[in-house]
Every structure is written in structure tokens, then in C-alpha cells.
């Protein structure tokens, strides 16, 4: 056998794993590939090695299809046509007519042939349809053999309830049967795992003088062992022996019974007695005892037993070897199982069946030992052992776990060619892998195709698929998935409901999200509430948003100012806005009657520019015994200022000041608000009055006052404020520095003002006059180095440059030298400044103005790729 592929190559390097997997069916290429890759196991994959050695995923899938084709049953055209009709016909009448048209030679042998084919391909429903159709044909009556066949098929598919329903209906019929009526009942109940009912039917038989034959007795006896009917077991064994029906099946069932009772010594004595009497042993007798010893953790005794009977040569031990391997695997001793498997195969010529390989494959898959899974698959192919349906499912799981999703998907799409029906494990891993690999719709389609075959995923797989569908906003598919779950009495977790609600809101279907929210039995997640509320606000449904806001508060979730303000502002745009406004205020204060709650409504009144409404809320606080806090007073002041009611704002401020409650934040709010209302003189008056009462204005206050003064060309006062700011030890902010640079580019007046204020002669600068030097350079009044790097360093001495600063520099450079502009753009990006719309617009215009149309077009395309468009409004 070839050297095992290191596990890292299977699990970590997707391309390399393709090479090894595709070579399973080509041992020569496999050995060559192993030798080549083994020579440099740690070297990274390069394009040259990829081209030389790596097979495409299509080749991998094709090689496995070739291997899968070796297990195909011999094609029976007539039986194949029957199953085509059974699969295609939805209506019973159409199906019956199509089958009758074939003029089938109905007989026990032919019916069993059809049923065996269906069982081999797991075509359970078509088997049942054919059995029912055959039983209604005038020239054919089902025999015990056909009944037993369909019972085994249904029981094997965990459809024993159908067997029981059939037997109950069969027992109530008063018809003349051409088969042994009571035999069918006994055997049917036994196969369906109902030995009590089987014994009752057997008792009725004996009462009317009828008896079972050898086959029925043994089916009944095995059923009694399975369900631990000990007393009845002893009686039936005596009946079998008394009638001369005892054979090797009896011995096997007796040993099985003793093993289930953990009477292992008796079982061993019984087995030795059979050997001494020269009884024919088939192998399962030893297998049951070996398995029972392993289950009791008596592995050493099990080994001795296998060796003892193996050396006698009287017992075919293939089955016992298989049970030994399976028992080791179930006991968690996988390495011992692999060693035993290899030894018996290499030194005793033991030829394991596909089933034995499958036991090892699935255990190794569960332990993620993918390298050894691969080795076993190679061994199966080299030993010419065709895969069965279980093996093919294991291969599908292997590719999913190895990350080769495309190969797994290709094999799944070709599953009909090989009669492959996915089991639960393969279905789970295929769905999970597709979800993780971005194939959400493919994963959903896999599930949808398997639902008709009674498959539904476990909770983890369901949640993974549901989360992926929500993430991709596949709303219709998600609705159907939830419907399928609820229809099977599966309650999705609250987290999935929350994700579904979020997806509905994201898709603009807020009302559907609200309906789903109504079905949720547990408290919805805060994120679900937020998304539903934002969706309602966007749709203008403030009434629903308000209802959700109250429910959110009632469920203990924290409300935020932006969210509440958005809801309240939406209510103010609806009819009966005042009534809705105060109704929401009343409901929220029931949960928390504090200034925090009232501030939500003061903030909303400020944004809506409804000063009177804000005043009513403020007065209501006093009436309800709630003391306004600092934020409440600031919000009330801003309500007046935003509405332009300056006198009311000043009166309110004076009232607060008389109460001794005027703090820095109130002064800042008043100064900033007056600036925004274009009352700069009054704003400056309050700005400077702060210093007289020992308060220090905020940076925002400084910046806004300076900006307004500069916009009115009152540079003298602006420089005076900047100087005061510097004397307090505050550096010049980027905002103020940019305002000064912007006005320097407009006019030299700012520079002259700066020179006069600092008492410095024009053209002469001292160390403390760097800002004057910078302003003079930008206004063109001074001849300084025009090197951009020098200007950058000069700016950095005055204030930290930001994107606005670089945009100003770019704008100036683009007038003369686009090459230098391009270099500045690259340096700006290197320093971490993210280009904005204005940056790209400057570059596009610069190249256009210099006649470089192609370069301008390239920059325009890059601009659009970044999500900026030239008709966007500049945000400076």
C-alpha cells in the first residue's frame, strides 16, 4: 500500500489534496505524486508546481464517478422502466395504467426481483406503490415471501408503523386468502418489533389447530430475543426442537439470546459443545460472542476466542473478524482495529467486505483522521472492492471535510446515475460545507430535495443554513424553511427568529418582520427591535415603531437617544402628532419616570424645531416631580435656539444662571447655538464672559466662533481668540488650522492682520511666528520654499494635518504640477489619510485641466469604484 499522505496536505492545502484524491483510481500517478511532494513537504505551492502536478476538480470528480460506476447493479431494462414509471407518476390511476400497459409477467419471483432492486436503491415509496399495485391485479396474489420482503423493506427504513397499520387492516379483513393468513400476521408483527402481538396471533393459530413452519418459528424466536421476552423464548425454543425444526439458525439465535443476557460463559460453553458435536458452524455464532465480549470490555478473551476458532479451521471467520473490527471501533480502539485489519489482510489473505471498510471509514471521519480515510479509499480501489451506497456517502463526507466543495457538489449532482441516496451524515456535511463556501442556494436546494425523503437537518445544520439565508436576504427560501420546521413540530431558536426579522427589515419587509415578531414566544433580541424600529421609521410607520419602542423598554432593553429621537420625530410627521407624542411619553414614563426619559422627547422636539412642544415637556417634568438635569436644560435651550427664538433662549439662560446652575456646557451650548443662528456678536459676548466667571470654552465653541468670524472677514477678532486659546496651553486644532489656510488662499488680508497683531514687520519672522509664516506662504505674500514636503513640515509644526489639509494642498498643486500632485496623493495615503470625494474630484479636474483626458478617465473610474460619484455633494 502506498505511503500515507500527511494529514496537513489533505486538510490545509486544498489544491494539493486534489492531486492525491484524484489519483485514488490511478495508483501509478499516485506514487509519482507522493514521491514528488514528499521531497519537499514543507515548501509552499508555486504556480509551476500547481501546473505540473495538480489535477483539476473536474478530474477528481470524474475519477470518483468511474469508481462509483463499478458498483452499479446489472441493468434490468424492464425493472428500470418500472421504477421510472413509479417515480414519474404522481397520480395512482396514471401509474396503474402505465404499469398495466407493460403486460408484466407477475409471479412471486418477478415481484421479489422488483422489490429487491428497489431495496438496493433505497426506493422505499416506489417499492410500496408497486407492491400495492401488484396485489390489486386479478391474476396475482401476494405470497408470504412477498409480504416478508415488503415488511423487511419498510422496517429497514424505520417505517414499522406502516407495517403495523397494514397488519391491523389485514387482520380485520374477512376474505379468502391464498396465503397462510396467520403466518403473515405472526411474521409481520415479529419483523415490525411487536412480539407481543405476534404471540397473540400465534396463540390464535394453535387454538384453531394451525402451526408455524420452520421459517416463521425462527423469525418469531429472533423477535423475542430482540425484545427480551425470556419466558416466551424458552417455550418457543422447546417447540422448535420438538418439531424437528432445530438448525444452525436456532443455534445462532440461542447464542444471541445468551449474549444479550450477558451469560457469556454459558454462550461459550454452548459454542464449544456445538463444535464438539460436529455441528456445522456458519460464523455468526462466533461473531455474536466476540461482539458481546468486546461490549463487556473483555477484548483479550475475544482475541483468544477468534484465534481458537480460527486455528480449528471449522468456522469461517470472515464475519467474526468484521465483528471484532467493529467492536474495537465502537470501543474507541481505532488504532488497534486498523492494525488488526491490516495484519489479517496482509498475512492471512483476509478479504474484507465493503461493509467492514465502511465501519472504519465512518469512525475515522468522525475523528477527522482524513489521511487514513484516504488510505482506506485507495486500498478499496486497489483491492477492486466496489463501493456501496454507504461508502459513497462517506466519500461525500470526506470531500466536504477536506474543503473540496466543488467535487462534493459534482458527485451529488451525479448521484442519480449511481443510485446514491444521501444519508443524514452526508446531507449534514454537504449543507454545512456549501453554506461555509458561499453556496447558500445550493445548500437550500439540497435540503429541499431531501425533505421529500423524510430528511430534516439537526439543530446545528438548520441554524447554519437559516443564518446563511438571512445573511444573504433570501427571504422566500427562509420563509419556506421556517414553515418546514414548524410543520415538523420543530421550534427554531429565538436567535434564528431574530435573524429572520433582521433580514426582513433589511429587505424592506418590515411589516412581515413585525408579524414574525408577534409569533416569537420569547423576548426578542435588542438588535431585532432596533432593526424593526428603524425599518418602521424609514417607512413612516411611527405608530408601529412607538409600539415596539414601548415593548422594547418593557422587556428590559436599553433605549438610546438616536433611536428614540427617530421614532418621536416620525410621530411628529403623522396626523394627530401631538396626541401620539404625549401618549408615547406617558407609556415610557410608566417604566421609568426620570429625566433620562423626558430628555428623549426634548431632543426630538429640538430636532423637529418645535420649541413649544419642548417647553411643555420641560414643564411637565416639574409637574410630575422630576428634577431636570443638566442635559434637560441644554436641550431646552437648544430647542429655542434651533427655532430662532433668541430672546426666549436668553431669558431661559438667565433663569438658569440666577438659579446658580449655569455650567460650562450651558455656556458652550448657548455660544455654539448663537453662532449657528448667525448671532455672532452675542455669541462672542457670552464666549468672553465665560473667562470672567472662570470657565473655559470647549474646543467646538472655539472652532465655531473662529469659523464664523473668519467667514465675516473679522480676522482681527479671530486671531485674538486663537491667541487666547494658545495662551491657555491648547494647541491649534486641525479644524481651526484648515479655516485659516482656506481664508489665506482667498485673500492676503488674514496675513496682514496676523502680522499687525503680532507686531512683526513684514518679511521678518521669529520662532513664535510659525503660524504667520504658514499663512503668508499660502496667501502668496511670502516667498518661501514651494516644496510640498517643506510645506507639510511647516503645517505639522502648527497643527496636525488631516484630509481637508491635504485636499487644500492638492488643489494648489494641481494648478501647476500633476506629477507632484500624484506623489502627494500617494504620500497622503501612506500616512493613513483616507481620500474622500473631494480628493478624487480635485485629481480628476486637475488632469482634465492639463489636457490629460485618459488619466482623468482612469481617476474617475477609480473614484466610482470607491463609491464616489461626481454629482455627489461635497462634504467639507
Span 811-833, pLDDT tens digits: 988 988 898 889 999 998 998 88
Per DSSP, 869 falls in state -
Phi then psi for residue 362, to 5 deg, are -70, -35
Q: How confident is the model at residue 43 (pLDDT cuts 50, 70, 90)?
A: very low
Sequence-ordered list of residues with C-beta below 8 angstroms from that of 634, at least 6 positions apart, any chain: 665, 666, 669
Is there a contact between 524 and 494 (Cβ–Cβ < 8 Å)?
Answer: yes
pLDDT at 333: 78
Q: No. of H helices and E strands in the chain?
A: 52, 0
The pLDDT value given to residue 356: 80
pLDDT band at 35 (very low <50, low <70, confident <90, very high): very low
The rounded distance, in Å, linking the Cα atoms of 773 and 716 is: 17
Among 43-57, 153-167, 485-499, the least confident range: 43-57
Nearest to 225 by CA among 785, 411, 12, 217: 217
The confidence band for 325, taking pLDDT boundaries of 50, 70 and 90, is: confident
140: left (phi over 0), alpha (psi -120 to 50) or beta: beta
Query: Which pLDDT belongs to residue 349?
Result: 64
Do 569 and 588 meet the contact criterion of CB atoms below 8 Å apart? Answer: no
Assign 385 to helix, strand or coil: coil
Return the minimum-mean-pLDDT range out of 5-19, 312-326, 423-437, 453-467.
5-19
Position 615 scores a pLDDT of 94
Query: What is the model's pLDDT at position 24?
Result: 37
CB 546 within 8 A of CB 567: yes
pLDDT at 803 over 90: yes
Cell numbers standing for residue 169: 387492516
**Long-range Cβ contact pairs of 360-367 (< 8 A, separation 24 or more):** 360/325, 360/329, 360/334, 361/391, 361/394, 362/390, 362/394, 362/425, 363/329, 363/334, 363/337, 364/334, 365/394, 365/397, 365/398, 365/401, 365/425, 367/334
**Rounded CA gap, 291 and 328, in Å?**
9
**Closest by Cα among 353, 381, 475 to 24:** 381
DSSP per-residue codes, 424-487: HHHHHHHHHHHHHTT-HHHHHHHHHHHHTTT----HHHHHHHHHHHHHTT-HHHHHHHHHHHHH
In this prediction, residue 51 carries a pLDDT of: 38
Give percent of the chain above pLDDT 70.
86
Q: How far apart, in whole angstroms, are the C-alpha atoms of residue 504 and residue 494?
A: 15
Q: Is 504 exposed, middle or buried (0-12, 13-18, 19+ CB in 10 A)?
A: buried
Cα 166 → chain centroid: 43
The cell 481505532 sits on which residue? Answer: 334
Nearest to residue 808, comparing CAs of 796, 831, 823, 824?
A: 824
Which of 68, 737, 4, 10 lies closest to 368, judged by CA?
Answer: 10
Query: Is the Cβ–Cβ distance between 126 and 132 less than 8 Å?
Result: no
Task: Let me know: does 145 contact 112? Beta carbons within 8 Å.
Answer: yes
Per-residue confidence (pLDDT) for residue 647, from 0 to 100: 92
Per-residue pLDDT, averaged over 342-352, amounts to 69
**In the predicted model, is pLDDT for residue 713 greater than 80?**
yes
Distances (CA, A) of 210 to 195, 231, 405, 572: 19, 22, 60, 89
Distance between CA atoms of residues 449 and 430, nearest Å:
13
Q: How many CB atoms lie within 10 A of CB 12?
A: 12
Q: What is the CB neighbour count within 10 angstroms for residue 154?
A: 23
Q: Are 768 and 802 in contact (CB under 8 A)?
A: no
Instruction: Please give the average per-residue pLDDT across 187-201, as a whole number.
Output: 88
pLDDT(36) > 70: no
* pLDDT for 53 beyond 50: no
Arithmetic mean of pLDDT, 372-398: 85
Instruction: Provide the 8-state DSSP code for 484.
Output: H
In this predicted structure, the answer to whether residue 672 has a pLDDT above a threshold of 60 is yes
Average model confidence (pLDDT) across the chain: 81
Note whether 463 and 495 are within 8 A (CB).
yes
Domain residue ranges of the chain, discontinuous segments joined by +: 7-68
Residues 398-413 as b or e (16 or more Cβ within 10 Å = b):
bbbbbbbbbbbbbbbe
3-state helix, strand, coil in the chain (%, to 5): 70, 0, 30
DSSP-derived secondary structure letter, 269: H
Are 247 and 214 in contact, with CB atoms under 8 Å apart?
yes
Q: Which residues, in sequence order, are CB contacts of 234 under 8 Å at separation 6+?
A: none
Per-residue CA distances from 812 to 211, 818, 846 (Å): 110, 10, 10
pLDDT at residue 317 tops 70: no
Asked whether the predicted pLDDT for residue 174 surpasses 60, the reply is: no
pLDDT band at 56 (very low <50, low <70, confident <90, very high): low
pLDDT of 191: 86
pLDDT of 79 > 90? The answer is no
Cell numbers at 522, concatenated: 420569547
Say if residue 516's pLDDT is above 60.
Answer: yes
DSSP 172-228: H-----SS-HHHHHHHHHHHTT-HHHHHHHHHHHHHTT----HHHHHHHHHHHHHTT
Identify the residue whose cell numbers are 416506489: 126
Question: What is the Cα–Cα distance from 399 to 641, expressed in whole angstroms?
Answer: 68
Q: Are 445 and 473 in contact (CB under 8 A)?
A: no
Q: Which residues of 751-776 are buried (b: 16+ CB within 10 A; e: fewer)?
A: bbbbbeeeebeeeebeeebebbbbbb
Q: Whose CA is closest to 190, among 147, 142, 243?
A: 147
pLDDT category of residue 352 using cuts at 50, 70 and 90: confident
Average pLDDT over residues 401-425: 83
CA 729 to chain centre: 54
Predicted confidence (pLDDT) per residue in 733-760, tens digit: 999 999 999 999 888 898 888 877 765 4
More confident residue, 520 or 646: 646
- Indicate whether 45 pLDDT > 60: no
Whether the Cβ atoms of residue 302 and residue 287 lie closer than 8 Å to each other: no
CB 382 within 8 A of CB 370: no
Is residue 510 within 8 Å of residue 535, measured between CB atoms? yes
**Cβ atoms 483, 466 nearer than 8 A:** no
Using the structure block, give the residue that is written with the C-alpha cell 394627530: 576
Q: Are 712 and 680 in contact (CB under 8 A)?
A: yes
Q: What pLDDT is recorded for position 631?
A: 92
Quote the distance between the C-alpha of residue 676 and its chain's center: 49
Q: What pLDDT is attached to residue 765?
A: 34
Which set of grid coordinates corresponds to residue 297? 470490555
- Indicate the SS3 state at residue 832: coil
DSSP letter at 559 equals P
Q: Which residues contact 78 (CB under 8 A, 6 or more apart)?
A: 102, 104
Do 645 and 653 meet the contact criterion of CB atoms below 8 Å apart?
no
Taking 80 as the threshold, does the pLDDT of residue 91 lie above it?
no
DSSP string, 775-829: HHHHHT-S-----HHHHHHHHHHHS---HHHHHHHHHHHTTT-HHHHHHHHHHHH
Rounded to a whole number of angstroms, the distance between the first and last alpha carbons of the chain is 72
E strand or H helix at 614: helix 611-623
462 sits in which H/E element:
helix 459-471
- CB-CB contact of 217 with 240 (8 Å): yes
Is 195 or 728 the better-scoring residue by pLDDT? 195
Residues 78-104, mean pLDDT to the nearest whole number = 80
Q: Comparing 37-46, 56-65, 646-655, which segment has the lowest mean pLDDT? A: 37-46
Question: What is the C-alpha separation between 468 and 432, in angstroms, rounded?
Answer: 10
Long-range contacts of 861-866, Cβ-Cβ distance < 8 Å, separation of 24 or more: 863/837, 866/835, 866/840
In sequence order, the 6+-apart residues with CB closer than 8 A to the CB of 144 are: 179, 180, 183, 184, 187
pTM attached to this predicted model: 0.61
Q: And the C-alpha cell for 67?
A: 469508481
- Distance (Å, rounded) from C-alpha 287 to C-alpha 408? 36
Question: For 148-157, 231-240, 308-317, which range has the lowest pLDDT when averaged over its residues?
Answer: 308-317
Q: What confidence tens digit (pLDDT) does each residue in 586-628 have? A: 999 999 888 999 999 999 999 999 999 999 999 999 999 999 9
Question: Is a pLDDT exceeding 60 seen at residue 44?
Answer: no
Amino acid at each position: 500500500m502506498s505511503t500515507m499522505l500527511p494529514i496537513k496536505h489533505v486538510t490545509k492545502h486544498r489544491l494539493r489534496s486534489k492531486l492525491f484524491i484524484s489519483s485514488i483510481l490511478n495508483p501509478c500517478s499516485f506514487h509519482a505524486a507522493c514521491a514528488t511532494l514528499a521531497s519537499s513537504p514543507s515548501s509552499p505551492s508555486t504556480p509551476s508546481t500547481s501546473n505540473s502536478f495538480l489535477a483539476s476538480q473536474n478530474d477528481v470528480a470524474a475519477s470518483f464517478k468511474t469508481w462509483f460506476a463499478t458498483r452499479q447493479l446489472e441493468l434490468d431494462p424492464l425493472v428500470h422502466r418500472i421504477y421510472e414509471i413509479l417515480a414519474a407518476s404522481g397520480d395512482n390511476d396514471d401509474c396503474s395504467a402505465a404499469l398495466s400497459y407493460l403486460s408484466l409477467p407477475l409471479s412471486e419471483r418477478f415481484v421479489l426481483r422488483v422489490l429487491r432492486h428497489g431495496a438496493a436503491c433505497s426506493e422505499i415509496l416506489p417499492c410500496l406503490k408497486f407492491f400495492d399495485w401488484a396485489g390489486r391485479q386479478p391474476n396475482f396474489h401476494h405470497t408470504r415471501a412477498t409480504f416478508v420482503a415488503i415488511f423487511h423493506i419498510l422496517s429497514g427504513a424505520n417505517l414499522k408503523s406502516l407495517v403495523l397499520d397494514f397488519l391491523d387492516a389485514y387482520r380485520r379483513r374477512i376474505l379468502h386468502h391464498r396465503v397462510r393468513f396467520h403466518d403473515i400476521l405472526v411474521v409481520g408483527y415479529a419483523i415490525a418489533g411487536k412480539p407481543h402481538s405476534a404471540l397473540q396471533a400465534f396463540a390464535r393459530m394453535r387454538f384453531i389447530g394451525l402451526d408455524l413452519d420452520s421459517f416463521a418459528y425462527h423469525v418469531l424466536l429472533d423477535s423475542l430475543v430482540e425484545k427480551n421476552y425470556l419466558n416466551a423464548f424458552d417455550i418457543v425454543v422447546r417447540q422448535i426442537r420438538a418439531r424437528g425444526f432445530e438448525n444452525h439458525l436456532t443455534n445462532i439465535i440461542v447464542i444471541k439470546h445468551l449474549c444479550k443476557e450477558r451469560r457469556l460463559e454459558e454462550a461459550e460453553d454452548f459454542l464449544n459443545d456445538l463444535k464438539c458435536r460436529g455441528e456445522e458452524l456458519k460464523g455468526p455464532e462466533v461473531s455474536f460472542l466476540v461482539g458481546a465480549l468486546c461490549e463487556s470490555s473483555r477484548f483479550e478473551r475475544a482475541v483468544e476466542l477468534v484465534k481458537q476458532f480460527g486455528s480449528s479451521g471449522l468456522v469461517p471467520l470472515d464475519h467474526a473478524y468484521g465483528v471484532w473490527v467493529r467492536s474495537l471501533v465502537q470501543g474507541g480502539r481505532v488504532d488497534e482495529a486498523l492494525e488488526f485489519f491490516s495484519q489479517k489482510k496482509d498475512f492471512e489473505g483476509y478479504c474484507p467486505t465493503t461493509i467492514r471498510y465502511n465501519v472504519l471509514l465512518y469512525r475515522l471521519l468522525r475523528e477527522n483522521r482524513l489521511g487514513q480515510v484516504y488510505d482506506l479509499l485507495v486500498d478499496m480501489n486497489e483491492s477492486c472492492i466496489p463501493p456501496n451506497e454507504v461508502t459513497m456517502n462517506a466519500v461525500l463526507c470526506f470531500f466536504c471535510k477536506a474543503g473540496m466543495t466543488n467535487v462534493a457538489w459534482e458527485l451529488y449532482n451525479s448521484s442519480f446515475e449511481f443510485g446514491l441516496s444521501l444519508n443524514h451524515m452526508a446531507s449534514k456535511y454537504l449543507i454545512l460545507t456549501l453554506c461555509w463556501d458561499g453556496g447558500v442556494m445550493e445548500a437550500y436546494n439540497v435540503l429541499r430535495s431531501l425533505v421529500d425523503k423524510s430528511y430534516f437537518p439537526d439543530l446545528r445544520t438548520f441554524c447554519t443554513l437559516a443564518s446563511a439565508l438571512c445573511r444573504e436576504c433570501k427571504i422566500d427560501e427562509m420563509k419556506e424553511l421556517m414553515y418546514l420546521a414548524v410543520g415538523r413540530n420543530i421550534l427554531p431558536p429565538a436567535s434564528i427568529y431574530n435573524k429572520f426579522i433582521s433580514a426582513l427589515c433589511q429587505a424592506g419587509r418590515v411589516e412581515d418582520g413585525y408579524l414574525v415578531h408577534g409569533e416569537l414566544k420569547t423576548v426578542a433580541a435588542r438588535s431585532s427591535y432596533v432593526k424593526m424600529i428603524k425599518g418602521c421609521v424609514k417607512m413612516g410607520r411611527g405608530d408601529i415603531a412607538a409600539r415596539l419602542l414601548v415593548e422594547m423598554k418593557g422587556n428590559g432593553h436599553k433605549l438610546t437617544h438616536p433611536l428614540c429621537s427617530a421614532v418621536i420625530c416620525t410621530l411628529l410627521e403623522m396626523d394627530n402628532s401631538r396626541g401620539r407624542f404625549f401618549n408615547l411619553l406617558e407609556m415610557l414614563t410608566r417604566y421609568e419616570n426620570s429625566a433620562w426619559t423626558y430628555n428623549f422627547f426634548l431632543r426630538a422636539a429640538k430636532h423637529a424645531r418645535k420649541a413649544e412642544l419642548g417647553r411643555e415637556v420641560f414643564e411637565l417634568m416639574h409637574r410630575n416631580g422630576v428634577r431636570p438635569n443638566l442635559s434637560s436644560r441644554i436641550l431646552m435651550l437648544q430647542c429655542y435656539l434651533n427655532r430662532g427664538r433668541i430672546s426666549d433662549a436668553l431669558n431661559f439662560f438667565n433663569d438658569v444662571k440666577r438659579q446658580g446652575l449655569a455650567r460650562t456646557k450651558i455656556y458652550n451650548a448657548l455660544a455654539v447655538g448663537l453662532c449657528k443662528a448667525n448671532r455672532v456678536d452675542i455669541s462672542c459676548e457670552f464666549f468672553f464672559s465665560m473667562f470672567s466667571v472662570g470657565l473655559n470654552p470647549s474646543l467646538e465653541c472655539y472652532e465655531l466662533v473662529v469659523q464664523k468670524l473668519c467667514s465675516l472677514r473679522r480676522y482681527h477678532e479671530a486671531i485674538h481668540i486663537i491667541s487666547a486659546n494658545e495662551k491657555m496651553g491648547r494647541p491649534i486644532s486641525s479644524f481651526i488650522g484648515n479655516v485659516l489656510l482656506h481664508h489665506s488662499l482667498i485673500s492676503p488680508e488674514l496675513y496682514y492682520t496676523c502680522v499687525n497683531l503680532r507686531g512683526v514687520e513684514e518679511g521678518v519672522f521669529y520662532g513664535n511666528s510659525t503660524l504667520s509664516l504658514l499663512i503668508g506662504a499660502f496667501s502668496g505674500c511670502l516667498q518661501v520654499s514651494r516644496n510640498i514636503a517643506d510645506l507639510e513640515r511647516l503645517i505639522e509644526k502648527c497643527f496636525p494635518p488631516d484630509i481637508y489639509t491635504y485636499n487644500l494642498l492638492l488643489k494648489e498643486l494641481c494648478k501647476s504640477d500633476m506629477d507632484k500632485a500624484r506623489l502627494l496623493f500617494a504620500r497622503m495615503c501612506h500616512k493613513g489619510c483616507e481620500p474622500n470625494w473631494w480628493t478624487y474630484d480635485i485629481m480628476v479636474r486637475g488632469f482634465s485641466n492639463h489636457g490629460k483626458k485618459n488619466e482623468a478617465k482612469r481617476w474617475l473610474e477609480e473614484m466610482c469604484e470607491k463609491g464616489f460619484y461626481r454629482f455627489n455633494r461635497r462634504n467639507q
